[in-house]
Amino acid sequence: MTPRSTSRGRFDVWAPRPQRVRLALGDPAEVVEMVRGTDDWWAPAEPVPDVWDQDIDYGYLLDDDTTPLPDPRSRRQPDGVHGRSRTFRPDAFSWTDRGWTGRQLPGSVIYELHLGTFTPEGTLDAALGRLDHLVSIGVDFVELMPVNAFNGRHNWGYDGVLWGAVHEPYGGPEAYQRLVDGCHAAGLGVIQDVVYNHLGPSGNYLPRFGPYLSSEGANTWGDHLNLDGAGAAEVRRYILDNVRMWLADYHVDALRLDAVHALSDSSPTHLLEEMAVEAAALSAHQRRPLTLIAESDLNDPRLVTPREARGYGLDAQWSDDFHHAVHVALTRETSGYYADFEPLSALAKVCERGFFHDGTYSSFRGRDHGAPIATDVMPTWRLVVCNQNHDQIGNRARGDRLTEVLDDHQLGCAAMLTLAGPFTPMLFMGEEWAASTPFQFFTSHPEPELGRATAEGRIKEFERMGWDPAVVPDPQDPATFERSKLDWDEVGRGRHARLLEAYRRLAHLRRTRPELTDPAFGSVSCAVDEASRSFVMRRGALTMAVNFGDAPATLPVDAAAGLLFTTGDGVDLEDGVLSLPPHAGALVAPA
């Protein structure tokens, strides 16, 4: 296990690579020599002023540098990732959530949002004004896409380089504390999306200080972190201290761990298991649930298997297979990685067994993929599922939502399958009212060459999916960002209002029907008719029926059953026969 960091001075810095380190403190900057310890941590050679209650800018001069570099553990970057850091005292905030006991993931609904496009203002404080809306649709957790500092003004957040600093245009660290405090006051937990598998392309000065990067090179998105080479103990501690920062200093309830399959770690104890140990210890101390959710492309149950059973001990993981099966069933799109999910039996398998690819051949990957879930012991809530998310919308050529291609019945079916299905549902901002705005991939790299490389890389990514590169918007065009902002004026109009009411109805059913939060895989059974494209899922006494076909369908149900939910007009139940128009669905229960 990686040892916990000992108490350090405010301006101490780990820097094994430079031969000389100086602290540039204040404005005008006073330059203070630093001395190296035997552990390669540097400390000021003379006492520095007590700055705990002041906003003071500072940075480090390495070797013969004349321009200070930001603190690798910076909490504020008021002038961007290339500027000096600014002191910030996290315990100065007046929290009002002392009675907050947290939220358990089982039975909960997650709502993913991007701060820059969730509101017109694109700030943490503006998001506070929309919490009542989230409560009204039964949300339990707000999941924020990454907020750490990156170069430029707007970005998805996955190009971050200073993991401890909250992006200043969003409002900075104190505004972040205000949002978390406000969420807790509204009964909402907060999940923070964090990225530990790579560093962004601009403003990454960590290699100047020490061996933060792996010698094995980069993954798809950026440079690998050094998790198992020389100096890796301090790099791992750097990451684990960041985990503790979000959970302790910012009162966050859960972390979504980005693309854990890209973590290259051959250590005896994997970094993910160390994270689980840290979170569990902190949870016991704070007496509230602290949850770790992995995004993984591996379909590997070991991630969420308890440590006692030799797993990594994470709490949950995303399941893309559910998304793919629902998407194909509704849209008939079978290009790229959707190809294997064409039969409705794929959706049935996902609902009954968690993964579709559980050791089966993946035509997209050209090999067998995944491993089976022990459905007799693993609860269904450990899989987080969605019918839309930032990846599955934003990584399409045009960033188009399901709203563009599905009718109201089909959108209702997508909502029903997600919210009334067996797993932990996650909504993506605006889906609950069929938002017409796209969510496109946008960047604001100040470096022209980086902007060009990003745009060219996007086009190349879409080749395997068969999408037309001519329709891919320029990520660097400010209009791409502006188009992606939600239009809140839509909420009360037409189809938007109708779908919003459907989401509220489904949220009510989740809260009042225990069958919809039953965590046992054994309580789920599905039947499909490929010819008529009808799908039936039974969850205890409840029956979910969906007609994915283009012709009306009739299905026998319990003669004493009644309708709990329908996706719109035309659904009828009489004498034990459920009549569904094309693309429609219903939830049925004994009267």
Structure tokens at 268: 């005896």
CB 381 within 8 A of CB 107: yes
- To the question of whether residue 321 is assigned a binding role by annotation, the answer is yes
- To the question of whether residue 61 is assigned a binding role by annotation, the answer is no
CB 559 within 8 A of CB 512: no
> Which residue in the list 258, 273, 408, 518 is annotated as catalytic?
258
- To the question of whether residue 392 is assigned a binding role by annotation, the answer is yes
Q: Is 315 an active-site residue?
A: no
Indicate the residue type of 44: P
Rounded CA Rg of the chain: 25
- For residue 337, give every residue at least 6 positions away whose Cβ sits within 8 Å of its Cβ, in sequence order, or none: 324, 362, 364, 465
- To the question of whether residue 242 is assigned a binding role by annotation, the answer is no
Structure tokens at 73: 């553990």
User: What is the spatial distance between Cα 492 and Cα 198, in angstroms, rounded to a whole number?
Assistant: 41
User: What is the spatial distance between Cα 414 and Cα 420, in angstroms, rounded to a whole number?
Assistant: 10
Of 356, 195, 378, 385, nearest in space to 304 by CA: 378
Q: Is 400 an active-site residue?
A: no
User: What is the distance, to the nearest Å, from the Cα of residue 206 to the centroid of all Cα atoms in its chain?
Assistant: 25
- To the question of whether residue 260 is assigned a binding role by annotation, the answer is yes
- To the question of whether residue 181 is assigned a binding role by annotation, the answer is no
- To the question of whether residue 148 is assigned a binding role by annotation, the answer is no
- To the question of whether residue 159 is assigned a binding role by annotation, the answer is no
- To the question of whether residue 256 is assigned a binding role by annotation, the answer is yes
Of 409, 435, 443, 415, nearest in space to 569 by CA: 409
Strands 223-225 and 213-218: antiparallel
User: What is the spatial distance between Cα 132 and Cα 511, in angstroms, rounded to a whole number?
Assistant: 17
> Which residue in the list 295, 300, 315, 358 is annotated as catalytic?
295
- To the question of whether residue 323 is assigned a binding role by annotation, the answer is yes
User: What is the spatial distance between Cα 393 and Cα 380, in angstroms, rounded to a whole number?
Assistant: 25
Q: Which H or E run contains 498?
A: helix 494-512
- To the question of whether residue 394 is assigned a binding role by annotation, the answer is yes
- To the question of whether residue 239 is assigned a binding role by annotation, the answer is no
- To the question of whether residue 340 is assigned a binding role by annotation, the answer is no
3-state class (DSSP) for residue 481: helix
- For residue 84, give every residue at least 6 positions away whose Cβ sits within 8 Å of its Cβ, in sequence order, or none: 24, 57, 58, 59, 68, 70
| Residues noted as catalytic | 258, 295
Q: What residues form the annotated binding site for substrate?
A: 256-261, 320-324, 390-395
Q: What residues form the annotated binding site?
A: 256-261, 320-324, 390-395
